[in-house]
């Protein structure tokens, strides 16, 4: 389809002339020089044909009848594209561009309109989203609708959309339960760690401090000449135990009570009821002692490393009593009290003498069984003669 163009200049445009105006019809039919007259002669050029906007007859020799006149080519005008059919129908005008934005009607925006993206305000987009996904589309529909909401980051949400997103972010019962169980496990683990730290570290720190204080008090009393009575009260310290090989220096108190004696880092003397044993100064008998192997100062932790002949020294206000390790019973039930007899069963001793028995729990960190170490006195040395060789070397 070629574009229409006028063939002449006139003060009135085509379609505005009345049919009765002189020359209106002839200018476009017979007066323009197109074709021949009924007699075979070409039509003469009509009025206004010399204006340069029509066609011009070619100059030259006369034409014979029936011969059409040739015309010079007319300069072509710029080609106008065909009319877009979409402009014929009614359509929604493009939205106005925001101030400062690049030119409206860009290729991207027009392409987006041709792709059929939703146009209009927020209400129209929300209705379109509801038609696509239903009234209750869920979290996925809400997020897609929010993504289609102009594609602008930080765009305000409606109250309904905000509530839907809040419900979608709210954890379900299973998540809440798993979190609660995890917190319980974490809390339990932390408490157990604190308990283990208390048992393995803090009890030793506190027991060592208490035992050191008791040993210093005993030595001060002895140095000042203060004499202790022959009978001691439960929990009262009266001697100091030395095990040079294990670097143990610990007070000996009366009784084997846990809170009053053993948990304070001291070694307890069996001096109650049927388990009452002899004192170091007795001429015969078995001096029985108990101590922790783990925690609370753990004075007997490594007595299993003692070998026959290793010295064990008991220091009192007046004398040093030196024993030498003789034998060991690695495991025995707690009910085996015969190990405290004057002649202990299983020790290898066959006749009365002056013996020492060390008892502790085994295996480590349990109290299921007992470990027994025996020794035999080899020297009784007054304090006035100085320390024995076992404490000097």
pLDDT 10s digits, 189-232: 999 999 888 888 999 999 999 999 999 999 898 888 887 777 78
Q: How confident is the model at residue 280 (pLDDT cuts 50, 70, 90)?
A: very high
pLDDT of residue 84: 52
- For the four alpha carbons of 202, 203, 209 and 212, in that order, the dihedral sign comes to negative
Are residues 214 and 74 located together in one domain of the fold? no
End-to-end CA distance of the chain: 126
Within a domain: 29: yes
CB 314 within 8 A of CB 252: yes
User: What CATH number is attached to the domain comprising 246?
Assistant: 2.40.260.10
Q: Could you give the 3-state DSSP secondary structure of residue 380?
A: strand
Q: Could you give the 3-state DSSP secondary structure of residue 269?
A: strand
Q: How many domains does the chain have?
A: 2
pLDDT of residue 226: 82
Angle at 254 between CA 197 and CA 290, to 5 degrees: 50
Q: Is 292 assigned a catalytic role? A: yes
Q: How confident is the model at residue 106 (pLDDT cuts 50, 70, 90)?
A: very low
Q: Is the pLDDT of residue 373 over 90?
A: yes
Q: How confident is the model at residue 56 (pLDDT cuts 50, 70, 90)?
A: very low
Q: Specify the higher pLDDT residue, 26 or 236.
A: 236
Q: How confident is the model at residue 50 (pLDDT cuts 50, 70, 90)?
A: very low
CB 304 within 8 A of CB 292: no
Catalytic residue among 242, 269, 354, 361, which?
Answer: 361
Within a domain: 240: yes
Q: Could you give the 3-state DSSP secondary structure of residue 359?
A: strand
Q: Is 370 assigned a catalytic role? A: yes
Q: Is the pLDDT of residue 335 over 90?
A: yes
For the segment 263-283, the average pLDDT, to the nearest whole number, is: 94
Contacts of 329 (CB under 8 A, 6+ apart): 339, 346, 347, 371, 372, 373, 374
For the segment 14-25, the average pLDDT, to the nearest whole number, is: 45
Find the domain containing 376 and state its range.
209-225+233-392
The residue from 41, 57, 79 where one domain ends is 79
3-state secondary structure 115-153: CCCCCCCHHHHHHHHHHHHCCCCHHHHHHHHHHHCCCCC
pLDDT 10s digits, 90-101: 566 666 665 554
CA count, 13 A, side-chain hemisphere, 97: 10
Q: Report how far residue 360's alpha carbon sits from residue 163's, in angstroms, rounded to the nearest whole number.
A: 68
Bridge partners (DSSP) of residue 380 are 321
CB 289 within 8 A of CB 303: no
Q: Is the pLDDT of residue 13 over 50?
A: no
> Is the model's pTM score more than 0.85?
no
Within a domain: 203: no
pLDDT of residue 93: 63
CA count, 13 A, side-chain hemisphere, 131: 7
Angle at 342 between CA 338 and CA 346, to 5 degrees: 45
pLDDT of residue 19: 45
| Residues of the chain above pLDDT 90, percent | 48
pLDDT of residue 24: 44
Are residues 74 and 213 located together in one domain of the fold? no
pLDDT 10s digits, 288-327: 999 999 999 999 999 999 999 999 999 999 999 999 999 9
pLDDT of residue 175: 87
Catalytic residue among 269, 292, 293, 301, which?
Answer: 292
Cα torsion at 385, 390, 391, 393 (round to 10°)? 110
Within a domain: 346: yes
Within a domain: 188: no
Within a domain: 150: no
- Helix (H) or strand (E) segment spanning residue 332: strand 319-332
Are residues 215 and 70 located together in one domain of the fold? no
pLDDT of residue 228: 73
Within a domain: 276: yes
User: What count of other Cβ atoms lies within 10 Å of the Cβ of residue 68?
Assistant: 12
pLDDT of residue 381: 95
How far, in whole angstroms, is CA 243 from its chain's centroid? 51
Catalytic residue among 164, 242, 301, 370, which?
Answer: 370
The size of the chain, in residues, is: 393
Q: Is 125 assigned a catalytic role? A: no
Q: Report how far residue 21's alpha carbon sits from residue 19's, in angstroms, rounded to the nearest whole number.
A: 6
Q: Is the pLDDT of residue 143 over 70?
A: no
Q: Report how far residue 53's alpha carbon sits from residue 63's, in angstroms, rounded to the nearest whole number.
A: 24
Q: Is the pLDDT of residue 68 over 60?
A: no
The residue from 79, 109, 124 where one domain ends is 79
Within a domain: 38: yes
**Axis-axis angle for helices 138-148, 159-169 (nearest 10):** 130
The residue from 36, 56, 79 where one domain ends is 79
For the segment 97-123, the average pLDDT, to the nearest whole number, is: 52
Q: Report how far residue 309's alpha carbon sits from residue 326's, in angstroms, rounded to the nearest whole number.
A: 7
Q: How confident is the model at residue 345 (pLDDT cuts 50, 70, 90)?
A: very high
- Helix (H) or strand (E) segment spanning residue 372: strand 369-382
């Amino acid at each position: 389809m070629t574009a229409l163009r006028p063939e002449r200049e006139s003060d009135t445009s085509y379609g505005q002339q009345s049919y009765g105006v002189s020359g209106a019809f002839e200018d476009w039919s017979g007066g323009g020089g197109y074709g021949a007259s009924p007699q075979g002669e070409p039509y003469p050029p009509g009025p206004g044909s010399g204006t340069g906007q029509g066609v011009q007859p070619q100059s030259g020799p006369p034409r014979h009848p029936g011969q059409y006149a040739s015309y010079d080519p007319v300069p072509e005008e710029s080609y106008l594209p065909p009319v877009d059919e979409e402009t014929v129908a009614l359509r929604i005008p493009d939205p106005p561009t925001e101030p400062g934005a690049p030119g409206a009607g860009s290729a991207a925006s027009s392409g987006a309109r041709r792709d059929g993206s939703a146009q209009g305000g927020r209400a129209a987009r929300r209705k379109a989203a509801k038609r696509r996904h239903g009234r209750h589309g869920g979290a996925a529909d809400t997020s897609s609708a929010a993504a289609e909401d102009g594609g602008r980051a930080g765009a305000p949400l409606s109250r309904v959309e905000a509530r839907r997103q809040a419900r979608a972010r709210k954890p379900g019962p299973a998540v809440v339960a798993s979190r609660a169980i995890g917190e319980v496990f974490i809390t339990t683990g932390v408490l157990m760690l604190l308990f283990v730290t208390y048992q393995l570290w803090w009890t030793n720190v506190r027991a060592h401090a208490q035992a050191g204080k008791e040993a210093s008090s005993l030595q001060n009393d002895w140095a000042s000449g203060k004499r202790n009575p022959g009978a001691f009260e439960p929990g009262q310290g009266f001697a100091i135990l030395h095990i040079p090989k294990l670097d143990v220096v610990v007070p000996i108190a009366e009784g084997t009570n846990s809170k009053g004696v053993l948990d304070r880092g001291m070694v307890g003397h069996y001096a109650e009821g049927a388990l009452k044993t002899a004192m170091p100064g007795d001429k015969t008998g078995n001096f029985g002692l108990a101590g922790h192997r783990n925690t609370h100062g753990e004075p007997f932790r490594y007595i299993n490393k003692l070998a026959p002949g290793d010295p064990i020294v008991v220091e009192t206000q007046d004398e040093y009593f030196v024993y030498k390790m003789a034998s060991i019973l690695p495991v025995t039930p707690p009910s085996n009290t015969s190990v405290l007899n004057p002649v202990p069963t299983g020790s290898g001793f066959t006749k009365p003498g002056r013996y020492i028995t060390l008892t502790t729990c085994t295996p480590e960190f349990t109290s299921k069984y007992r470990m027994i170490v025996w020794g035999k006195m080899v020297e009784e040395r007054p304090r006035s003669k100085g320390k024995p060789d076992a404490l000097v070397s």
